[in-house]
Amino acid sequence: MLPKRCDAVVVGAGFGGLIMTLRLRELGLDVVGLERGGDFGGTWYWNRYPGCRCDVESMEYSYQFSKELEQEWQWPERYSAQPEILAYAQHVADRFDVRRLFHFNREVVSAVFDSTDSTWTVGTREGEALTCSYLIMATGCLSAANIPAFAGLNDYKGRTYHTGAWPHGGVDFTGQRVAVIGTGSSAIQSIPIIARQAKSLHVFQRTANYSIPAQNAPLPEETAAAIKANYGELRERNWNQPAAFGAYYERNPDSVLTATPEERKARFERYWVMGGFMFLGAFGDLVMNVDANAHAAEFVRSKIRETVKDPGTAELLCPKGIIACKRLCADTGYFETYNLPHVKLVDVSQKPIERLNPTGLETGGNHYEFDAIVFATGFDAMTGALLRMGIVGEGGLTLKDKWSAGPRTWLGVTTSGFPNLWMMTGPGSPSVLANMITGVEHHADFISRQIEWLRKQGHTRIEADVAAEDQWVDTLNQRASLTLYPHCNSWYLGANVPGKPRVFMPYLGWPDYVQRLRQIEADDYTGFKVA
Ligand code: NAP
pLDDT at residue 167 is higher than 90: yes
Q: Where are the domains of the chain?
A: 5-144+381-530, 177-375
Closest protein CA for atom 32 of ligand 1: 327
Ligand 1 geometric centre to CA of 161 (Å): 14
- Among 157, 128, 163, which Cα is nearest to 34's? 128
Closest protein CA for atom 15 of ligand 1: 377
How far is Cα 88 from Cα 61, in angstroms, rounded to an integer? 11
Ligand 1 geometric centre to CA of 311 (Å): 25
Q: How confident is the model at residue 253 (pLDDT cuts 50, 70, 90)?
A: very high
Q: How many CA atoms lie within 13 A of 422 on its CB side?
A: 30
Q: 330: Cβ below 6 Å to ligand 1?
A: yes
How far is Cα 508 from Cα 468, in angstroms, rounded to an integer? 17
pLDDT at residue 257 is higher than 90: yes
Q: 373: Cβ below 6 Å to ligand 1?
A: no
5-144+381-530 maps to which CATH number?
Answer: 3.50.50.60
Q: 185: Cβ below 6 Å to ligand 1?
A: yes
Ligand 1 geometric centre to CA of 112 (Å): 33
How far is Cα 32 from Cα 260, in angstroms, rounded to an integer? 60
Output the pTM of the full model.
Answer: 0.97
Q: What is the pLDDT of residue 248?
A: 85
Handedness of CA 48, 54, 59, 63 (dihedral sign): negative
Do the Cβ atoms of 432 and 443 come closer than 8 Å?
no
Closest protein CA for atom 12 of ligand 1: 182
Mutate to test the pocket of ligand 1, among 58, 325, 377 (most ligand atoms within 8 A of CB): 377
Q: What is the pLDDT of residue 438?
A: 98
Ligand 1 geometric centre to CA of 427 (Å): 18
Phi, psi of 290 (to 5 degrees): -65, -35
- Among 477, 462, 474, which Cα is nearest to 416's? 462
Closest protein CA for atom 4 of ligand 1: 184
**For residues 513-521, average pLDDT:** 98
**For residues 48-65, average pLDDT:** 97
Ligand 1 geometric centre to CA of 420 (Å): 33
How far is Cα 527 from Cα 273, in angstroms, rounded to an integer? 45
Q: Locate the ligand 1 atom nearest the alpha carbon of residue 329 and give its number.
A: 41
Q: Locate the ligand 1 atom nearest the alpha carbon of residue 495 and give its number.
A: 48
Q: 58: Cβ below 6 Å to ligand 1?
A: no
Q: 181: Cβ below 6 Å to ligand 1?
A: yes
Tens-place pLDDT, residues 193-248: 999 999 999 999 999 999 999 999 999 999 999 999 999 999 999 999 999 999 98
How far is Cα 469 from Cα 528, in angstroms, rounded to an integer? 9
**DSSP string for residues in 54-122:** -SS-TTTSS--S-HHHHHH----BSS-BHHHHHHHHHHHHHHTT-GGGEE-S--EEEEEEETTTTEEEE
Tens-place pLDDT, residues 328-350: 999 999 999 999 999 999 999 99
Q: What is the pLDDT of residue 178?
A: 98
- Average pLDDT of the chain? 97
Burial of 237 (0-12, 13-18, 19+ CB in 10 A): middle
Q: What is the pLDDT of residue 137?
A: 98
Q: What is the pLDDT of residue 249?
A: 87
Tens-place pLDDT, residues 283-309: 999 988 999 999 999 999 999 999 999
Closest protein CA for atom 20 of ligand 1: 206
Q: 348: Cβ below 6 Å to ligand 1?
A: yes
Closest protein CA for atom 34 of ligand 1: 327
Q: Locate the ligand 1 atom nearest the alpha carbon of residue 327 and give its number.
A: 32
The length of the chain, given as a count of residues: 531
Q: 133: Cβ below 6 Å to ligand 1?
A: no
- DSSP 8-state code for residue 165: G
